[in-house]
Amino acid sequence: MREEIEKSIYEHKRLSDEQSLWLLGDADIWDLARWAHYARCRDNSPERVTYQIDLNINYTNECVLGCRFCAFYRSPDDPDGYVLSIPEILAKVKDTLAIGGTGILLQGGCNPDLPFKYYTELLKAIRARYPTIHIHAFSPPEIIAFSKFYSQPIQNIIGRLIEAGLDSVPGGGAEILSDSVRNRISPKKCTADEWIQVMRICHQMGLKTTSTMVIGFGETNVERLEHLLRIRDLQDETNGFTAFILWTFQSANTNLSEKFEPVGAYEYLRMLAASRLILDNVPHHQVSWITQGLKVGSIALYFGADDISSVMPEENVVSSAGLVYKSDENEIREVIESSGFKPVKRLTLYQNILHG
């Protein structure tokens, strides 16, 4: 099996399901690292590692989905619930531009008390005030919620968001794209098929998106592979995913806090490398330094990752689970350089900006 897989990787042949499952469960970690780094250098500049400066703006924490793994959400009647006003969000965009930011990520809870006009007016206000900022916003569960709350087809919802100023869509809400897992951890959230269908529509309507995965819910390797194959199959169909981002579940302050042990660096790096090899059609793989820290992040650059993600000066969802890693552009660049690569600042859709 090992020799067959190595031959397939070096000949750029797609791995079979059986081979992919062997990678996830049985492959030697150093083989995984070597193969994944080869694939990363084949598909991207071997000398460069990219990064972005953007801000994750969580516009509301009020949500009716009640996912068991989420420490961020509050029910709509909770006194700790909040909704940011448009002026408050505009101030955050201004701050992002002031530190050299080029984009914002807008994500929030599925809040039935907000009218659809809130979202369209928000996008229009950002676009009018800050026309150069890239608006990466509203993951598939949010878009599905909009469709249900406002009784409109998903195509109409996406079309109106594009008209208001939406540039691309994040891959949040995927967790594990296997309904056997989703039914345990987020039974009110969209199904795996629904998540994929929203992304398919986005791609068909000209929006690029990212794809994500969160491991650490007690899922099996078969369920992890199901997730990766769903992403790969849609990418074959649409070529709409710009990147894959692997996260690890943070259990503190959640309803699952006593159920699963945290995923450590070893398992994270194994999964990162295997993902690069199985997702042979997704060009960019990001480091999740916000869950693993920059030390592991620097190692991850030799396990298939070509992008160290965002400087992200503000983040509220992962930090709600008690994990807070902070950095700035200088430190990110130093980590990249000390790992033997040239740091290159990028835009959201992976256009490079040579810097420094």
Whether 4 shows a pLDDT value over 60: the answer reads: yes
What is d(CA 345, CA 353) in angstroms, rounded to the nearest whole number? Answer: 5
What is d(CA 83, CA 81) in angstroms, rounded to the nearest whole number? Answer: 7
- What length does the chain have? 356
The model's pTM is 0.93
Total of domains in the chain: 1
What's the pLDDT at 71? 80
What is d(CA 229, CA 18) in angstroms, rounded to the nearest whole number? Answer: 12
At 39 the three-state DSSP class reads helix
Q: Is 329 inside a domain boundary?
A: yes
At 23 the three-state DSSP class reads helix
Q: What are 104-127's pLDDT values in tens digits?
A: 999 999 999 999 999 999 999 999
Residues spanned by the domain of 222: 23-353
What's the pLDDT at 311? 83
Phi, psi of 294, rounded to the nearest 5 degrees:
-75, -25
What's the pLDDT at 28? 97
Whether 293 shows a pLDDT value over 80: the answer reads: yes
pLDDT band at 322 (very low <50, low <70, confident <90, very high): very low
The residue ranges of DSSP E strands in the chain, in sequence order, are 48-52, 54-58, 103-107, 134-137, 168-169, 208-215, 241-248, 284-286, 307-310, 342-346, 352-353
Neighbouring residues of 311: CB distance < 8 A, sequence distance ≥ 6: 51, 52, 53, 54, 327, 328, 329, 332
Q: Is 50 inside a domain boundary?
A: yes
Q: What share of the chain in percent tops pLDDT 70?
A: 92
Q: What are 92-109's pLDDT values in tens digits?
A: 999 999 999 999 999 999
> How many other CB atoms are found less than 10 A from the CB of residue 275?
27
pLDDT band at 133 (very low <50, low <70, confident <90, very high): very high
Structure tokens at 349: 């859709």
Burial of 166 (0-12, 13-18, 19+ CB in 10 A): buried
What is d(CA 135, CA 301) in angstroms, rounded to the nearest whole number? Answer: 27
The runs of H, that is alpha helices, within the chain are 2-10, 17-25, 29-43, 86-98, 116-129, 140-149, 154-164, 179-185, 192-204, 221-238, 265-278, 289-300, 317-320, 329-338
Q: What are 223-235's pLDDT values in tens digits?
A: 999 999 999 999 9
What is d(CA 336, CA 318) in angstroms, rounded to the nearest whole number? Answer: 23
Q: Is 282 inside a domain boundary?
A: yes
Which residue from 261, 172, 247 is spatially nearest to 215, judged by alpha carbons? 247
What's the pLDDT at 73? 84
Provide the CA 249 distance to its chain's centre, in angstroms. 13
pLDDT band at 323 (very low <50, low <70, confident <90, very high): very low
Q: Is 1 inside a domain boundary?
A: no
Whether 197 shows a pLDDT value over 60: the answer reads: yes
What's the pLDDT at 320? 44
The conformation of residue 114, written as its DSSP 8-state character, comes to: S
The CATH number of the domain holding residue 185 is 3.20.20.70
Q: Is 12 inside a domain boundary?
A: no
Q: Is 7 inside a domain boundary?
A: no
What's the pLDDT at 319? 46
- The mean pLDDT value for 178-200 works out to 96
Are 55 and 106 in contact, with CB atoms under 8 Å apart? Answer: no
What is d(CA 282, CA 241) in angstroms, rounded to the nearest whole number? Answer: 7
What is d(CA 6, CA 28) in angstroms, rounded to the nearest whole number? Answer: 12
Whether 324 shows a pLDDT value over 60: the answer reads: no
What is d(CA 278, CA 225) in angstroms, rounded to the nearest whole number? Answer: 9
Of the two residues 341 and 75, the one the predictor is more confident about is 341
Average pLDDT, the chain: 92
Q: Is 13 inside a domain boundary?
A: no
Q: Is 61 inside a domain boundary?
A: yes
What is d(CA 242, CA 349) in angstroms, rounded to the nearest whole number? Answer: 7
The conformation of residue 5, written as its DSSP 8-state character, comes to: H
pLDDT band at 198 (very low <50, low <70, confident <90, very high): very high
What is d(CA 163, CA 251) in angstroms, rounded to the nearest whole number? Answer: 38
Structure tokens at 118: 């809130």
Q: What are 252-291's pLDDT values in tens digits?
A: 666 665 577 788 999 999 999 999 999 999 999 999 888 8
Phi, psi of 269, rounded to the nearest 5 degrees:
-65, -40
